[in-house]
A and B are shown apart, each in its own frame.
Chain A
């Protein structure tokens, strides 16, 4: 029974790399304009799941994907233009990467590729994205510095700015705060709460408390299996349906 109003439907998703299976058939929905948290210990398939959603799994030669993934009812593996599809998904990877372009060009790169030429439009977009990534104040006077010359934390925020630059409908964040200090993390978390009005957000995180702060609903993945998905408050208050969830949330393992 497919939820027609959902932004994303994932049904029976299985992923394996060669002979090693990392996701063993998971089914869930993601609602529009919600922050959907994904928690679980390392090697649970969280990153692989994200790579299926934005179809960068295509670039892994020995990856095998089964099951269906639909965005607004349309199967994402059957889209006409995969690049246009990926534009609609913003991805923030855990490792900070500054492209070897100026900071300005880092953020303007994607919009330019999609045809935005007007200088004032670009200026406005670059500033807005850098502000949302809590990076604007630090770099506004040196937008022509090379992105690769920034510190790790700054590069991570640059990655966030880039992810926002192409006006995504779904924003995926994969452990975005590991390289960022707590104060800046808070700033970005506030921005995410506002961005929820404009887009759907998938937040993969190892920080259980972060999921508790931000996510409306949360999914617990353990070793490629979906243990539980539901309302965040319920799951984190010790009243989750599954005992494993309670154990993980209380720090018994992971």
Chain B
């Protein structure tokens, strides 16, 4: 006579509990990351020496100074913004163009190959990209623009663009594929060319997903560390000003991420310098959290899930 052994049932119950715990692990880790980073930086926040507004808006970054430490990250924020914006200006048109091509205009065989290439592009480690920026791009920029050094906003932006493009292409392609074929057929039925169908029907229909793709690309660019550390130079400098072209791509800058990576090794544990770097970490965490949340809300908005 068959029957379920009590012992097995108990073991199974245990396994299912372990599964449930693992299920919430991601939530636990996200909280833990915020908590532990905050914990290491809290000393400075609550010490009374720290003015959050000044932190965000002044450009004097002298955290190691004995006599007059100043923690203004404004220049670092502009560093991050300049590289990210320029990178997106390059990556978004190319990325969306490639997504359109792969999704709508190319043959199945070519599609396979291109998707594989994009995947391999995405797999390249950031330190290798940084190395490429340091060596190849550096030379190229110096020669092409006659600049004194090639480690600049432009260098970082090109590298970041190449790094962000795979995300934009793959999620953008998903967004385009998610548009039901009936839309395409309706367009073809009216006798328009494929391009017109894309322009008038497909893009408006997929715009939420495409926007999400761009946002995720932005998130990737903001959070990148090694590549910008190695490619943008080490100047705490604001590359924007009032004269054309407003963004000086040949200036050297430093991003928020690079600052942490470059300076953490030299700080004494629990010193103010050490703690302010963790505070920058919290700032970065919050920014990328907001960007990812926005992207997710936009996507869920259309799927209605």
Asked if A111 is an interface residue, CB under 8 A from chain B, the answer is yes
Fill in one digit per residue for B1-43: 1 if any A CB lies within 8 Å of its CB, else 0.
Answer: 1111100110000000000000000000000000000000000
A83 and B1 contacting across the interface, CB-CB below 8 Å: no
Closest partner residue, chain B, to A112 (CB atom) = B2
A166 and B4 contacting across the interface, CB-CB below 8 Å: no
A81 and B2 contacting across the interface, CB-CB below 8 Å: no
- Docked CA distance A166–B2 (Å): 7
- Docked CA distance A115–B2 (Å): 7
Fill in one digit per residue for A102-144: 1 if any B CB lies within 8 Å of its CB, else 0.
Answer: 0000000001001110000000000000000000000000000
B9 and A87 contacting across the interface, CB-CB below 8 Å: no
Q: Is the interface of B mostly helix, strand, loop or mixed?
A: loop
Q: Is the interface of A mostly helix, strand, loop or mixed?
A: loop
Closest partner residue, chain A, to B4 (CB atom) = A84
How far does the Cβ of B178 sit from chain A's closest Cβ, in whole Å?
24
Task: Please tell me the size bucket of the interface on A.
Answer: 10 to 19
Closest partner residue, chain B, to A115 (CB atom) = B5
Report chain A residues within 8 Å CB of B1: 167
How far does the Cβ of B14 sit from chain A's closest Cβ, in whole Å?
15
CB-contacts of B186-243 with A (<8 A): none
How far does the Cβ of B12 sit from chain A's closest Cβ, in whole Å?
9
Report chain A residues within 8 Å CB of B5: 115
How far does the Cβ of B48 sit from chain A's closest Cβ, in whole Å?
53
Report chain B residues within 8 Å CB of A167: 1-2
B2 and A111 contacting across the interface, CB-CB below 8 Å: yes
Report chain B residues within 8 Å CB of A114: 2-4
Report chain B residues within 8 Å CB of A111: 2
How far does the Cβ of B110 sit from chain A's closest Cβ, in whole Å?
32
Fill in one digit per residue for A169-206: 1 if any B CB lies within 8 Å of its CB, else 0.
Answer: 00000000000000000000000000000000000000
Closest partner residue, chain B, to A83 (CB atom) = B4
How far does the Cβ of B123 sit from chain A's closest Cβ, in whole Å?
31
How far does the Cβ of A151 sit from chain B's closest Cβ, in whole Å?
30
Fill in one digit per residue for A67-108: 1 if any B CB lies within 8 Å of its CB, else 0.
Answer: 000000000000001011001000000000000000000000
- Docked CA distance A149–B269 (Å): 65
How far does the Cβ of B2 sit from chain A's closest Cβ, in whole Å?
4
Most interface-central of A114, A116, A167 (chain B CB within 10 A) = A114
How far does the Cβ of A177 sit from chain B's closest Cβ, in whole Å?
27
- Docked CA distance A9–B1 (Å): 25
- Docked CA distance A87–B5 (Å): 13
How far does the Cβ of B243 sit from chain A's closest Cβ, in whole Å?
62
- Docked CA distance A182–B1 (Å): 34
- Docked CA distance A254–B281 (Å): 69
How far does the Cβ of B113 sit from chain A's closest Cβ, in whole Å?
30
Closest partner residue, chain A, to B5 (CB atom) = A115
- Docked CA distance A84–B9 (Å): 10
How far does the Cβ of A125 sit from chain B's closest Cβ, in whole Å?
10
- Docked CA distance A111–B1 (Å): 10
Report chain B residues within 8 Å CB of A83: 4, 9
- Docked CA distance A166–B1 (Å): 9
- Docked CA distance A81–B5 (Å): 11
B9 and A115 contacting across the interface, CB-CB below 8 Å: no
Report chain A residues within 8 Å CB of B2: 87, 111, 114-116, 166-167
- Docked CA distance A111–B9 (Å): 15
Report chain B residues within 8 Å CB of A116: 2
Report chain A residues within 8 Å CB of B4: 81, 83-84, 87, 114-115
Report chain B residues within 8 Å CB of A81: 4, 9
- Docked CA distance A250–B3 (Å): 45
Report chain B residues within 8 Å CB of A84: 3-4
- Docked CA distance A83–B8 (Å): 12
- Docked CA distance A232–B2 (Å): 34
CB-contacts of B38-79 with A (<8 A): none
Closest partner residue, chain A, to B12 (CB atom) = A83
- Docked CA distance A30–B69 (Å): 86
- Docked CA distance A116–B9 (Å): 15
Which A residues fall within an 8 A CB radius of B?
A: 81, 83-84, 87, 111, 114-116, 166-167
Extra contacts besides A81-B4, A114-B4 (17): CB < 8 Å: A83-B4, A84-B3, A84-B4, A87-B3, A87-B4, A111-B2, A114-B2, A114-B3, A115-B2, A115-B3, A115-B4, A115-B5, A115-B8, A116-B2, A166-B2, A167-B1, A167-B2
The contact sample of 14 A-B pairs, CB cut-off 8 A, is A81-B4, A81-B9, A84-B3, A87-B2, A111-B2, A114-B2, A114-B3, A114-B4, A115-B2, A115-B3, A115-B5, A115-B8, A116-B2, A167-B1
Across the A-B interface, give the 3 residue pairs with the lowest CB-CB distance, nearest first.
A114-B2, A84-B4, A167-B2
